[in-house]
């Protein structure tokens, strides 16, 4: 961490990371912060809530907001996800729009552009995954987006490898308002430990399941016993929520093999992430029909 210089004005601002599902927003956030605070998956709509990560760079405090992927909502859950995006756009000082450069421009990206038109705040474009395409394809894409007259600058980079991250940071910092820091230098994220636990479990569900399952599930902590935490032990009881009995059978798996695999992977990552020596993670699957369209149930969940 770089100490602040009293002779240089402090800069501080909120920066929204927006884009279509799977454009790499959460990967970029983790790369910027230097550790994992947002789960990552190859499944669209992995991020369902706004996740805040704070980076201290010289005399600048950058408060990043990782937002759900911009899409046309189908369920009430998706409507609330998009409300989170729109609220973030209203509140931040700067917008960073991520585009997956390996995907052709289509209606989804056009919808994002329409969302950004008329936005009265600086917007930067990140062309992500440049390490996955021929370098000769990058310049025409830059020219294409430059003609949209939306962006202050365009930065090609790889969120996965960190390639070209520094130029992006320089562009962001130069546009932040001069303002006292809002958080102490050791502040990292607004996410609670319980939220992180539910998200890591859900990430493993996304990893091991396919088809409709990833979009029909969420996770919920039902027991959190830290009475023996001073001895390095944590007891967690959690439910994986699905909408139908058939989905429950898939998540449980034959002879319980799938849920066991999910539990082992989640426990391994939790041990690596949390300051704890031993975790007992008790997972089971619960059927809640139509939970994605139930206002009362969505409001009760940790992520909403």
Domain chopping of the chain, boundaries: 11-174, 193-300
pLDDT digits (tens, 9 = 90+) for 198-218: 999 999 999 999 888 888 999
CA distance 56 to 62: 6
CB 76 within 8 A of CB 292: yes
CA angle 68, 172, 32 (to 5 degrees): 60
Q: At residue 193, what are phi and psi to the nearest 5 degrees?
A: -60, -40
Band of pLDDT at residue 6, cut at 50, 70 and 90: low
CB 241 within 8 A of CB 219: yes
CB 25 within 8 A of CB 69: yes
How do beta strands 218-225 and 233-242 pair? antiparallel
The whole-chain average pLDDT of the chain stands at: 91
Q: Do domains 11-174 and 193-300 have the same CATH topology?
A: no
Helix (H) or strand (E) holding 249: helix 245-252
Lowest mean pLDDT: which of 22-26, 164-168, 296-300?
A: 296-300
CA distance 86 to 35: 26
Task: Give me the pLDDT at residue 1, please.
Answer: 45
CA distance 218 to 214: 8
pLDDT digits (tens, 9 = 90+) for 100-151: 999 999 999 999 999 898 888 999 999 999 999 998 999 999 999 999 999 9
CA distance 3 to 166: 18
Lowest mean pLDDT: which of 85-89, 158-162, 166-170?
A: 85-89
First to last CA, the chain: 32
Q: Which residues contact 264 (CB under 8 A, 6 or more apart)?
A: none
Sheet holding 278-287, edge to edge: 218-225, 233-242, 278-287
* Superfamily in which the 11-174 domain is placed by CATH: P-loop containing nucleotide triphosphate hydrolases (3.40.50.300)
CA distance 53 to 31: 11
CB 14 within 8 A of CB 121: no
pTM recorded for the entire structure: 0.88
Q: Tokens 């995907």 correspond to what residue?
A: 103
Give the CATH number of domain 193-300: 3.30.300.20
CB 279 within 8 A of CB 234: yes
Q: Which of 43, 46, 84 is nearest to 65 (CA)?
A: 84
Task: Give me the pLDDT at residue 7, please.
Answer: 61
CA distance 129 to 156: 8
């Amino acid at each position: 961490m770089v100490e602040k210089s009293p002779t240089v004005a402090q800069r501080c601002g909120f920066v929204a990371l927006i884009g279509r599902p799977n454009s790499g927003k959460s990967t970029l956030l983790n790369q910027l912060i230097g550790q994992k605070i947002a789960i990552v998956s190859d499944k669209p709509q992995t991020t369902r809530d706004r996740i805040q990560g704070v980076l201290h760079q010289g005399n600048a405090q950058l408060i990043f907001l990782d937002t759900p992927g911009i899409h046309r909502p189908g369920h009430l859950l998706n409507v609330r996800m998009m409300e989170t995006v729109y609220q973030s756009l209203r509140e931040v000082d700067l917008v960073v729009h991520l585009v997956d450069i390996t995907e052709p421009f289509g209606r989804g990206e056009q919808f994002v552009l329409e969302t950004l038109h008329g936005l009265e705040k600086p917007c930067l474009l990140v062309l992500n995954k440049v390490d996955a395409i021929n370098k000769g394809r990058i310049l025409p894409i830059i020219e294409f987006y430059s003609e949209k007259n939306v962006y202050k600058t365009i930065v090609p980079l790889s969120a996965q490898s960190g390639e070209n991250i520094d130029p992006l940071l320089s562009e962001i910092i130069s546009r932040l308002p001069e303002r006292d820091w809002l958080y102490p230098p050791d502040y990292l994220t607004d996410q609670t430990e319980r939220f992180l636990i539910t998200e890591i479990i859900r990430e493993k569900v996304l990893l091991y399941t396919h088809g409709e399952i990833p979009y029909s599930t969420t996770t919920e902590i039902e027991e959190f016993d830290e009475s023996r935490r001073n001895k390095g032990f944590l007891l967690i009881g959690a439910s994986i929520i699905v909408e139908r009995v058939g989905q429950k059978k898939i998540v449980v798996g034959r002879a319980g093999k799938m849920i066991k695999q999910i539990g082992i992977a989640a426990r391994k990552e939790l041990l690596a992430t949390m300051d704890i020596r031993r975790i007992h993670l008790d997972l089971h699957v619960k059927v809640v029909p139509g939970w994605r369209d139930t206002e009362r149930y969505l409001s009760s969940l940790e992520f909403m």
